[in-house]
Amino acid sequence: MKKKRLGIAVAVLAGILLLGVSVFSSASQADTAERREQILREAISTGSDWTIVKETELDGYLISGAYSTDNQSALAIFEPVGNGNYKLMTATNQNREEILIDGARIHDKWYDFIWFDGAETEYAEITYTIGESESDTRRYDTRDMEILCCESPETEYTLQVVYYDRDGNPYQ
């Protein structure tokens, strides 16, 4: 009788262990938007119940824009790890009323990622300043609230981003 109980206990524990490993393994795989949202829930200490609303792909990497139920926005970069899976490379978040700017090195190039989920906008102007000289201002259509991906012109620079609504009112 004791051996039977021990066998049942071992089987139950093995089943729980396998279930735990399976759940952890599937949660660490970011092959779907839902799984990437779960990773954001676990990785970002502020904000809750993240929902990815925009994604763009750049050289195999996924750049995701998300919002939370408590007025936060996040910009996350997911690195490919093979077999259609991704791992979280970096994420930044702040209040939805603020413009998100993050950066990452992708295949030996530095990119700036910019996203604003706080208001409907028509366009954004991005100006890089390198040393004392200001480069040309780049203008982007933002009516679809896309994530902007800009290859950086140099290794040291400053970046100014201004979004505008259809009446020309700026958001900085």
Residue carrying structure tokens 């092959």? 31
C-alpha 47/C-alpha 67 separation (Å) is 8
Q: Which range has the worst mean pLDDT, 2-11, 52-61, 62-71, 91-100? A: 2-11
**pLDDT computed for residue 45 by the predictor:** 86
Q: What is the largest CA-CA distance in the chain?
A: 84
- Give tens-digit pLDDT for 107-149: 999 999 999 998 899 999 999 998 888 787 999 999 999 999 9
Q: What is the DSSP letter of 37?
A: H
pTM, full prediction: 0.79
Q: Decide if 73 contacts 94 (C-beta within 8 A).
A: yes
Token representation of residue 141: 């259509």
DSSP 98-124: S-EEEEEEETTEEEEEEE--SS--SEE
pLDDT grade, residue 22 (50/70/90)? very low
